[in-house]
Amino acid sequence: MKPYVLAGFQMIGLNGMIGASWLDPDDTSVAFTDLDYWIGIARQLDDAGFDFLFFADSYGFPGLDGEPLAATVREGRSIPQADPVTVVSALAAATRDLGYVVTASTTVEKPAALARRFATLDHFTKGRIGWNIVTGSQGATAASLMGEEVTPHDLRYDKADDYLELCLKLWESSWRTDAVVADRASGVWADPEGVRSISHDGPFHQAKGILNVPPSPQRTPLLVQAGTSGRGCEYAGRNAEVVFVAGGPHEVVARRVQNIRDAAVAAGRPADSITIVAGVMFLVAPTEEEAIAKHERMLSLSSYDGAAAIFAGNTGVDLLQFDQDAPLPHDLSTELGLSNLQRYLGTAEQPGPLVREIVDDFRRTGLNGSVFVGTPEQVADETEAFVAATGVDGFLVQPNVVPATYDDFIGLLLPELRARGLVRESRADSADPGAPATTLRERLFPGAGAHLPDTHYGAALRWS
| Residues 286, 375 contacting (CB under 8 angstroms) | yes
How many Å apart are CA 360 and CA 340, to the nearest integer? 14
Residue 42 has pLDDT above 70, yes or no: yes
Q: Which of 60-64, 170-174, 307-311 has the lowest mean pLDDT?
A: 60-64
Position 347 scores a pLDDT of 84
Position 16 scores a pLDDT of 67
Position 331 scores a pLDDT of 84
| Residues 77, 32 contacting (CB under 8 angstroms) | no
Position 66 scores a pLDDT of 73
- CA-to-CA separations, 125 to 95, 264, 347, 451, in angstroms, rounded: 9, 29, 48, 15
Q: Give me the mean pLDDT over the 350-361 stretch.
A: 88
- 62 versus 328: which is more confidently predicted? 328
Position 405 scores a pLDDT of 93
Q: What is the tens place of the pLDDT at every residue in 219-245?
A: 999 999 997 888 999 999 999 999 999
Position 223 scores a pLDDT of 98
Q: Give me the mean pLDDT over the 320-335 stretch.
A: 86
Q: To which H or E segment does residue 244 belong?
A: strand 242-246
Residue 209 has pLDDT above 90, yes or no: yes
Q: Give me the mean pLDDT over the 17-25 stretch.
A: 85
| Residues 75, 28 contacting (CB under 8 angstroms) | no
Q: What residues does each domain of the chain span?
A: 5-182+189-283+369-456
Q: How do strand 63-64 and strand 67-68 relate by DSSP bridges?
A: antiparallel
CA 166 remoteness from chain centre: 22
pTM of the model: 0.91
Kindly report whether the peptide bond that precedes residue 353 is cis, defined as omega within 30 degrees of 0. Answer: no
Burial of 192 (0-12, 13-18, 19+ CB in 10 A): exposed
**CATH number of the domain located at residue range(s) 5-182+189-283+369-456 in this protein:** 3.20.20.30
Burial of 348 (0-12, 13-18, 19+ CB in 10 A): exposed
